[in-house]
Homo-oligomer: A and B are copies of this chain.
Amino acid sequence: MNSFGRIFHIHIFGESHGENLGVVIDGCPAGINLCAADFESDLSRRRSGMRGTTSRRETDAPSIVSGVYNEYTTGAPLAILFSNNDTRSSDYEQFRTMPRPGHADFVAAKKWDNFNDPRGGGHFSGRITLALTAAGVVAKKCIAPISVSAELTEAGGSGANIPETVNNAMSNRDSVGGIIECRAQHIPVGLGAPFFDTVESLLAHILFAIPAVKGVEFGAGFAAARMTGSQHNDVFITSDGKTATNHAGGINGGITNGNELFFRVAVKPTASIACPQQTINVQTNMIETLHVKGRHDACIALRAPVVVEAAAAIVLCDLTLRRKADVITNV
């Protein structure tokens, strides 16, 4: 469903063109200094505006309506709301008849008997990642001094010329995907569990909830499948667990080993593209040509690194809080 986390438990809601979207954050410790201004830095990284992103403009002003008193978290659930203001909902009803290839129009209609909100993709929109990013801001504060940093390292197959690649896609009324790399520092040893809540399991769970993510790998990842054990094994060189290499991405047996946490995320190209596409008309049962209007990102991956950071911070926050219960001496 729309919630995630065992102790640091978040619950998101909202649609692309609905009145509000937001997140309820439960289990946030009391005593975290928090105000609306704390969100701006991360939210601005997610916001559209740079070339290759949608022309929709939202101010993304967070409204903290509960859980904070005198600028500190109280221990009660935080609720953070956002408004949708710059919406144009007229073009979406057609997608019930002619579902966009690669998009959720078809499955949403089938799953919910056409009761789904089609405007802007409804609840399936990348817009919802705004709520995730906001939760990430809170999580990052809770996990300090752990820090998380993600960046887009490749778009459309090119690592060197990302803007040019995106430009070309836009010229072709097409879109491109990308690769995001994420690293977290100052990770303690011992977060995570062998079954089923490995660090990889929890991170992948939330990462694959980000629209357009289609692959996740940790450390050497898929390349590890082509290595020998003697190549892949990371030699421990200090008694606090530092390793000479980091093919494991900082995780052994599902548990952090104190080295840098490292993973990579594959983001597919935006499904909504302006160039003509074929699709089925579910009423006539004929294949027809679809012209997708509306405003869309040519490379959604440009805006996704901060969302990936948020996802990672949310997992790390939950695991940090859970870590307290591991040994009786902590009780």
User: Are B217 and A266 in touch, CB under 8 angstroms?
Assistant: yes
Is the contact region of chain A dominated by helix, strand, or loop, or is it mixed?
A: mixed
Contact with B along A320-331 (1 / 0, CB 8 A): 111011111111
Asked if A55 CB lies within 8 Å of chain B CBs, one says: no
Inter-chain contact A200/B194, CB cutoff 8 Å = no
Q: Which of B63, B103, B142 contacts A331 (CB 8 A)?
A: B142
Query: Once the chains bind, are B215 and A222 in contact (CB under 8 Å)?
Result: yes
When distances are taken between beta carbons in the complex, the residues of chain B under 8 Å from A217 are: 214-217, 222, 266
Interface membership of chain A positions 222-265, coded 1 if the CB is closer than 8 angstroms to chain B and 0 otherwise: 10111111111111111101010001110011111100000000
* CB neighbors of B among A48-84 (8 A): 63, 65-67, 69, 72-79, 81
Q: What is the CB-to-nearest-CB distance from A46 to chain B, in angstroms, rounded to a whole number?
A: 16
Chain B residues near A197 (CB, 8 Å)?
1, 209
Interface flags, A2-33, vs B, CB<8A=1, else 0: 11101111011111001111101011011110
Q: Which residue of B lies closest to A7 (CB)?
A: B325
Instruction: Verify if A175 is at the interface (C-beta below 8 Å from B).
Output: yes
7 A-B pairs with the lowest CB-CB distances in the bound complex, closest first: A104-B253, A215-B217, A76-B123, A324-B324, A157-B226, A175-B229, A75-B112
In the complex formed, the residue of B with least CB distance to A320 is: B331
Of B30, B81, B195, B287, which is within 8 A of A12 by CB?
A: B195
A80 to chain B: closest residue by CB: B13
Q: How far is the CA of A230 from the CA of B101 in the complex (A)?
A: 9
A-B contacts, 24 of them at CB < 8 A, read: A2-B194, A2-B196, A13-B26, A14-B65, A69-B122, A75-B108, A75-B123, A76-B123, A101-B233, A102-B232, A102-B233, A102-B252, A104-B194, A106-B252, A106-B257, A172-B228, A174-B229, A200-B213, A204-B207, A204-B216, A216-B216, A217-B217, A225-B267, A227-B268
The contact of A31 among B255, B321, B327, by CB within 8 Å, is B327
Report the minimum CB–CB distance from A184 to chain B (whole Å): 16
Interface positions of A from 104 to 125, Cβ below 8 Å from B: 104, 106-108, 110-113, 115-117, 119, 122-124
Given A65-B14, A266-B217, A175:B124 Cβ within 8 A: no
Count of chain A residues with Cβ under 8 Å from any Cβ of B? 155
Known: A224-B266, A225-B267, A227-B269. 14 other contacts (CB 8 A): A1-B7, A3-B3, A7-B7, A13-B67, A29-B325, A30-B115, A74-B112, A74-B122, A107-B190, A110-B189, A204-B207, A205-B205, A229-B269, A230-B277
Do A230 and B275 have beta carbons less than 8 Å apart? yes
A134 at the binding interface (Cβ < 8 Å): no
Evaluate whether A116 and B277 lie within 8 angstroms (CB atoms) in the complex, with A1-B9, A268-B232 already known.
no
Interchain CB contact under 8 A, A26 and B14: no
